[in-house]
Structure 1
Amino acid sequence: MKTIMLAAAIAAAIAVAAWLRLSERTLPPDLAQGVTSLSYNFMSPAEQSATGVQSERILKRVGDDLSTLSELTSAIRLYASSGVFTEVPAIARRHGFSLIAGAWVGKDIEFNQLEISSAVRLVNRHPNIRSLVVGNETILRKELNVAELTKVLRQVRRQVRVPVSTGETWDIWLKHPELAKEVDFIAAHILPYWEGIAADRAVPYAMERYEDLRKAFPGKKIVIAEFGWPSRGYNNKQADASPALQAKVIGDFLVAARQRGITYNVIEAIDQPWKTTEGSVGAYWGLYDNDRKLKFTTDGIAAEENETWRTVLAVVLGFAVTVLALGISQRRPTFAHALGVAVAAQALAAGVAMAALYPFENYLNTGSAIAWVVGFALMIPLTAMTLIKVHEVAEITLGRAPTRLIYDKVPRPAGWRAPKVSIHVPAYREKPEMLIATMNSLAALDYPDFEVLVIVNNTPDEAFWRPIETRCAELGERFKFVYLPKIDGFKAGALTAAMARAAPDAEVLAFVDADYVVEPTWLNEMLPAFADPSVAFIQAPQEHRDGKASLFKSIMNSEYAGFFDIGMVQRNEDNAIIAHGTMLLVRRSVFEAVGGWATDTITEDTELGLRLFRAGWQALYTTRRYGRGLLPDTYAAFKTQRERWAYGAVQIIRKHWRAMLPSGCELTAAQKFHFLTGWTLWLSDSFGVVAAYLNLLWVPMILFVGVLIPMLPFTVPILAMLGVNLLHCALLYGVRVKLPPHKILGAAVAAMSLQMTVARGVAKGFGRVRLPFLRTDKGGIVASTKRARKSSPVLTEAVTGVALLAGAITLHVTNVTEMVEITVFAATLLGQSIPFLCAPLLYCLDRAARGAQPAVAQVQPMAVTPVPAIAPTQKAA
């Protein structure tokens, strides 16, 4: 534990240093001399028609706001003059405020007249109104043309005695110099953020534009009627938004404006959470937040308010996860292993902390709140799976060598007696030639006392079972043909029914799939391990003898090897391996004590192994290949098998989840860890598919509605998981499986191609859809039975992958503001498309292989010693 704590502490220190290094800090603006004027908008669109009690509440808010704003300024700019706005000048006068009044004009002529007449009355009635701005960017928004606006300005100027102008961006003034003749001063909006200018260039840029206006309109008073910088939101090209940048830009602007004697108005006084028409930054231009709290202090250093909380949350979470992940193992990690996990935990915890605090730092409406909840819910399992993969990479590459693995044959203890073994070979519609090859290899076993039960179930077609019955008779009394025309309970039901035919004196049960050709030394070299009375079962890995039949089969074979040479080896160190049905040896007394096969799950072998662990027994594992089967004939069969495994995993979750609770005492903490993480692997594919579809649905929302773009803490983990998965595959397949790079790539393609398949199996499992037992086509059974699929088995994956790819390209092309979040989101869509597109790629390789040669039907079994027929009366040796 000292090693773990030291590594966690070092990683935490690195994280703190990184947080401090990346934190944005700057000297706050000098507000001692105040701000000339602030834009003030106190109503959301929903409140603009307020009357009665609601109107009174709004006006009281105005009074309270002006009391707050008085610490910074004594002047405000308004943008409208009708409705509740008619009461504001009087309130402002009582608080000692002068006003830049505003009249909102646009396409609605009737409303324009209402605004103008109200503005004129207010100006002529309230002496604290010092000027009037008629229209706000009406030409920029193309609501009025210059001629129409000129007419309005002339009408107003004739009726008031204060200076009149219209608010437009600096470029509109330069583009339409004739407009300057119709106003008393130039009310120019200079907003460098919207022009994509970097924060450190914002103030110099604004001063350059100010000088441009002075040169264009000599003798005319120039007022910077709007200047500001947002405190949060997405970047606009080189312009980033943050509290520290806002403090710096505003501070630099105030200094420059005072030095030049510029009359200005800062936008804006208070944040406006309802503003969604200006993208993500629209709500965050205020110097005060929506709670009327100044965003930066008047002395010291300006920094993000939640920065400390974010740092503390991330570091504490990273530390805790490190200790938890490493502390539950029965093995002591090396320092390098522990440090690798600790650093990764801190990096991932940083993303979780940023996402967790997002609602406290940003204004959320109903839609964005729902998006945050869904995103955060998906982020947690994806982050957990990423850390689990990092854990495994660090453990294998930097950790200790396995200590429980059986590397060679098990030595025979003194006085050891070879127990009798009953070998069970279940078969359902299997090709006779393939099954007979398995039987012949079993007949050649170099072991003194065994029997073989060949169990053919639910196979009425005599062409499938009659040759098997004949071969059993030829091989003698050791071989028993068990024919079950109709039996329920999947494979487990058939195996359970066959137990009645097993020899009563058999002490060990062995299970072999119908396509496996077994090494003669299997039993002789493994059975001595049962001399340890605590051992319940021994598992040897799967292997395939047709892995070189085609590129497609080579890729499949590489993918299978990873589980048996990587995952199973690590699980074995904590006595938590998966019993996977073939090449499995089980102590019969223990098997019967836990109730034998369970018929309520479709993966009866894995479920049996978990029950044996819950009963307190030990298991052993070897990576030595004692048997070689056949790969699925087609990509469709490959998918069918994996869907069945995923479905079965969910059945086991539903059956045994209580054993994984902290209160469960049957399993060790390490065993719980491995089973939970193993189940999470299945679930993570489902979360990945859900995230892909949600992101795909979000693309048109971004393009056409302009809603919240998924924030970086939600999108980066998806990219991180993809990267870690590729790193996991590249490193561990190279270190443990000893595959060359091109085969590692093939294994990665095969694994990713099954994402949708696994998700479908998981969904059916949780949806309690009854999945029929679908055999995995092997040995050419597809060709011989002339079964064909009516539609492509990868149509869904292909359509989804292309849609994700198209979405990524579209977002990239339309990202004219170079928004980082959109770039990362597009990259996320691109990354999410890869697993889906791997499916049609593998399917094409499958079709090409079958088109080139009937490889599946002609695969030759591994050579075995010929076994002569044994006369029925001859005793088994």
Structure 2
Amino acid sequence: MDKPEPAPEKKPVNPRSWRHSVFVRQAAFLFLVLPLVIAANLAIWAAFNQPHHAEAWTGEIVGLSYSPYRQGQDPTQNKHPSLSEIEADMKLLSGTVQAIRSYSVVRGQQHIPELASQYGLSVAAGAWIGPDLERNERELQQLIELAPRRNVVRVLVGNEVLLRNDMPVEELIAYIKRAKQKIWKPVSTAEPPHIWLNHPELVKAVDYIGVQILPYWEGIPIDYAVDAVFERLDELRAAYPGKPIVVTEVGWPSRGKIIPRRPYPGLSEAELSAEAVPSLVNQATFMREFLNRAKAEDITYYVMEAFDQPWKAAEEGAAGAFWGIYNADRQPKFPMAGSISEAPEWRFWASLAAGLALVPAMLFMLRQRHVRPAGVVIFAVLTQLAGSAIAWAGLSVTGLYFTWVGATIWSFLFFAQGLLLIVLLAEAIEFVEVIWTRHGERHFKPFDEKAVSPTVKVSIHVPIHNEPPEMVRDTLAALSKLDYENYEVLVLDNNTVDPAVWEPVRDYCAKLGPRFRFFHLENWPGFKAGALNFGLEKTAEDAEIIAVIDSDYQVEPNWLKTLVPYFDKPDVGFVQAPQDYRDRHESMFKNMTYWEYAGFFHIGMVQRNNFNAIIQHGTMTQVRKSALKRVGGWAEWCICEDAELGIKLYRAGYDSVYVNHSFGRGLTPDTLAGYISQRFRWAYGAVQIVKHHWDALAPWARRKSGLSGAQRYYFLAGWLPWFADGLALLFTTASIVLSAWALYQPNMISLPVAAFLIPTIGSFVFKFVRSLWLYAVRVKDCSFLESLGAGVAALGLTHTVAKAMLNGMITTSKPFIRTPKCEDKPPLAAAFIQVREEALMLTALWGLAIALFVSPNFADSHSRLWIAVLLVQSVPYASAVLLSLINVMPSIFRPKEKRETAGILSPAE
């Protein structure tokens, strides 16, 4: 073989000078840029966690409502506190409050007055009245026995009985009258203001009005909440002048669901647009303001409540657990004087965010020495954002009380969120490398065909299966025109049943002469890989290179002549050229898929080539025969035998060459079904490869496994986005379940926006910007609209890829799925059939988003963010449906005869 033209001489680079410049840049990054980026991140954390100031409270609280249950205890499951635990609570509260109010006098709580008296606390003893008549009797009798105690200053027969519709007002009044016959202390019951206003007969039956005033549940914003409490008191005073009033519950939760403002006469537009937001700052603000005003107006009250009650979340919704001024561990949740912080521990989480981001930024700087300073800064910023996203999600769940189910769900969400952020960082690395990396040394071009005349023999293998014979004849005709002397063509027909399909190809091979050999394989195992292995056995003895093309590719005459010389270097195992297509002008669908393919070949493959880590993709590949035999040929267990062969060659120590120049053009899939089945095969095959070669691909694998660190990274990083699609499907499914649950029980769940915001909206925005930027830089001749179309095509495959990845993780083998060629467009009905799963998911997401939007229970900003999450999650499914409709548009608007005239249908159809 003639030797290739030597490369022009380059001016030698002084290694010492180069190392010095790299050291200077690294030092500048370490001691100047990175600290500035970290400082900026910490400043943002500080800006979002500015302390809040409110009027201080320095006195004792008049009264607190008291439930003795701790975390893990639940009266509905018959798990009650011990007497020592109740006594410890009384001791703790004795320096804070003058009196407490209880809700029950059975199951150990009958000892509350006695234990409270030891610490100087007065008690408003309450009997729980509900639909359980037997318990009602026990509660009432026990209340009668406890009432004479000196520190029992008043009693309450029932709590919100009428609000819960547990019994008619007449029956409640009967219980109250029975209590008054035996108890000489003031007797009442506890209900919200509207119950008292609607039932004057109840007011007549009690000694005082025990009113529950909780502005949060009315949707009153925090700025007007305390005013609302005293407005409700004024309404009751006006309705029942002279009747004593005791506020039996008043307060604000520190966490829970945002309550939208409900219409109320006389409210301004500003008041209507605000919301009742549960937060630590709002709880502390409400408490301080209310306590000072209550002291000024000399009212009797019991703040809701002493301690957080985790068990109430299942009874009263997400906010039910968070009304205490102490948490469930008996720690004060906020100070009564001084500044208030929503997240007092934010400095820890901010430092954690900076620390998490520091490691990948440092590693990137040390390993990617050719990246320009701007790229290093961008990556440092992105890592800080990623670290902050994880830290923010962690901060959002601090203070929550988890059941084992909740802990399991949140553990999965955090694990999945962490994996998704790793994927985003991998994509950020590619983004930075492509945009801000100087050209590396591995930049290969076709050899000058006038300057080289290679003579080594090449055996070209063309695997076919049930392909239109006219299409295959065009492929073979192009091969017959190769500007190369020493080659053969083996046409390997794999299990085509109909002789009318394969016999014309056989006859055409005979017409082309002895250089073309045809083999018809019946009942042959191993799918395409099996046929290629058969071809390897039938290859001419003197052939040194195996070249493979698909049955639809029409190659350029210089394909072999300008690439074969790369095999002069003995360690080159395979030479790869990109796939290209000749039919993108036939329809909008094909144009979109054409540019979607182009992104991989002109962005990802070019970047991977810099690190000798390209994906071998079969078509337009040339492989050294001796290397192919050395690694055992094509893998018949894998449905992506080409990519698997590339890894085997790398593990065997061979090098690769990627020449980003089109030498042949094939056909894009005619239908979305074909496009989908092709991508499913690629994604499923990727999982098979990772599982089979995990000993070499694992990040901790040793160099003796055959792969360099860069090769391990780029193979895993290249497939990580597909694994992320599988995680995204799980996130979407979780969103659907949580949304349906929220609609079914609107007050029982607080939608976990923090766990979904970054993995959905954040990642979508990043990927959208990244894709358009990379296309603009690397994919030449692709307009902005065409790059958008490519993005829609890629998004339309998200569900397919997710299914393939999840299938691959739990199964061992899938049948080979052929990519159909030259198929007629499906009718409109089939357009939805081929994306029926995507259409169902889209319907579910849009339906739930609409239901949440129109529901008055989800009119708050928090729920609107959740709706945005659902809409963003629906984008891939909407893209699939849109792509399917675009695919069938020619069938809708053109009759078959016109399409045949226009050349849209192949002659075989």
2:844 matched to which residue of 1? 803
Q: How many aligned positions are there? A: 852
Output one character per residue of 1:741-790: Cα deviation in whole Å (capped at 9) or x when no partner: 3323322222122223223323333333532223211134999xxxx999
- Which of 608, 616, 635 is residue 653 of structure 2 equivalent to? 616
- 261-270 vs 493-502, which deviates more? 493-502
Partner Cα separation in structure 2 for residue 503 and residue 29 of structure 1 = 93
Counterpart pick for 2:793 among 734, 750, 754: 750
Structure 2 counterpart of 1:370, from 408, 412, 415: 408
Structure 1 residue 502, shift from structure 2 partner: 2.5
2:359 aligned residue: 320
Once the two structures are superposed, what CA deviation does each residue of 1:348-381 show, in whole Å capped at 9, x if it has no partner?
Answer: 3233224445665210113322321232233222
Q: State the shift of 1:406 in Å.
A: 4.7
SS in 2 for 1:562: helix
1-structure distance, mates of 2:34, 2:256: 34
- Report the alpha carbon displacement of residue 119 of structure 1 after superposing the two structures with TM: 1.8
Aligned counterpart, 1:837: 878
1:460 CA displacement: 4.2
Task: Find the aligned partners of 2:222 and 2:709 in 1 and give their Cα distance.
Answer: 52
Give the distance between the partners of 1:12 and 1:565, measured in 2 at CA.
34
1:310 and 2:333 correspond = no
* Structure 2 CA distance for aligned equivalents of residues 291 and 88 of structure 1: 19
Distance 1:312 1:234 in 2: 29
C-alpha distance in structure 2 between counterparts of 1:49 and 1:498, whole Å? 72
1:93 corresponds, among 117, 120, 129, to: 117
Task: Name the amino acid aligned to 1:473.
Answer: A
Partner residue in 2 for 1:172: 195
Q: Take 1:623 and 1:641, find their aligned partners in 2: how far apart are those partners?
A: 23
Find the residue that maps to 1:548 and give its secondary structure: helix
SS at match of 1:282: helix
Say if 1:404 and 1:572, in contact at 8 Å, map to a contact too: no
2:43 to 17, 42, 48: 17
Partner of 1:225: 248
Equivalence map 1:328-727=2 (5 Å): 330-356=368-394, 360-397=398-435, 399-403=436-440, 406=443, 408-411=445-448, 417-661=454-698, 662-665=700-703, 666-705=706-745, 707-716=748-757, 717-727=759-769
Counterpart amino acid of residue 41 in structure 1: S
In structure 2, relative to structure 1, the CA distance for the partners of 1:710 and 1:378 (3 Å cut) is farther
Instruction: Give the secondary-structure state (helix, strand or coil) at the position aligned to 1:456.
Output: strand
Deviations 1:39-92 (A, max 9, x none): 1111489765999xx87x622111111001112113111122344232221111
SS in 2 for 1:99: strand
- Pair 1:763–1:146, CA change in 2 (3 A): closer
Work out which of the residue numbers 767, 776, 790 in structure 2 matches 1:734: 776
Matched letter for residue 349 of structure 1: G
Aligned to 1:186: 209
> Is this contact kept in 2: 1:802–1:837, CA < 8 A?
no
1:25-424 equivalences in 2 (<5 Å): 25-27=51-53, 30=56, 32-43=58-69, 48=75, 58-124=82-148, 126-177=149-200, 179-237=202-260, 238-276=275-313, 277-297=315-335, 300-303=338-341, 304-324=343-363, 326-327=364-365, 330-356=368-394, 360-397=398-435, 399-403=436-440, 406=443, 408-411=445-448, 417-424=454-461
Counterpart AA for 1:719: I
Determine if contact 2:212/2:250 at 8 Å carries over to the other structure.
yes
Asked whether the 8 Å contact 1:780–1:857 carries over to 2, the reply is no
Specify whether residues 574 and 425 from structure 1 end up closer, same or farther in structure 2 by C-alpha distance, changes over 3 A only. Answer: same
Gaps in structure 2 of 5+ consecutive residues: 1-25, 261-274, 905-909
Q: Distance in 1 between matches of 2:720 and 2:899?
A: 34
Deviations, residues 223-282 of structure 1 (Å, cap 9, x unaligned): 332221112222222122222332222122222222222322211001101002221111
Is the contact between residue 545 and residue 625 of structure 2 (CA under 8 Å) also seen in structure 1? yes
Mean CA deviation greater in 536-545 or 101-110: 101-110
Give the Cα separation in 1 of the matches to 2:77 and 2:48: 45
Aligned to 2:4: none
Partner deviation per Cα, 1:121-167 (whole Å, 9 max, x = no partner): 2112x011112223222233333454444444444334333223322
Contact map agreement 2:825 2:888 (CA 8 A) in 1: no
Maintained 8 Å contact 1:382/1:718: no
Rounded to whole Å, the distance in 1 between the matches of 2:762 and 2:564 is 44
Structure 1 pair 82–772 and aligned structure 2 pair: CA distance change class (3 A): closer
Contact 2:831/2:888 (<8 A) preserved: no
| Cα distance, 1:478 vs structure 2 | 2.8
Q: Shift of residue 817 of structure 1?
A: 4.7
Over 3 Å counting, the alpha-carbon distance change for 1:330 and 1:618 in structure 2 is farther
The one-letter amino acid of 1:570's match is Q
RCO greater where, 1 or 2, for CA within 8 Å and sep 6 or more? 1
Shift in alpha-carbon separation, 1:201–1:332, aligned structure 2, 3 A: farther
Q: Which residue of 2 aligns with 1:867?
A: none
The answer for the alignment partner of 2:271 in structure 1 is none
Q: Which stretch shifts more, 365-374 or 409-418?
A: 409-418
Name the stretch that deviates more: 6-15 or 493-502: 6-15
| Amino acid in the other structure paired with 1:280 | A
For residues 549 and 728 of structure 1, the distance between their equivalents in structure 2, rounded to whole angstroms, comes to 29
User: By how many angstroms is 1:569 displaced?
Assistant: 1.8
1:98 to partner: Cα distance: 0.7
Give the aligned partner of residue 875 of structure 1: none
3-state secondary structure, aligned to 1:188? strand
TM-score (norm 2): 0.87
Tell me: CA distance 1:200–1:344, structure 2 relative to 1, closer, same or farther (3 Å): farther
Report the secondary structure of 1:274's partner residue: helix
For 2:895 and 2:607, locate their aligned partners in 1 and report how far apart those are by CA, in whole Å: 39
1:775 counterpart = 2:826: no
* Secondary structure of 2:358 counterpart: helix
Q: Distance in 2 between matches of 1:856 and 1:341?
A: 50
Equivalent AA in structure 1 for residue 506 of structure 2:
E
Counterparts of 1:333 and 1:452, CA distance in 2 = 44
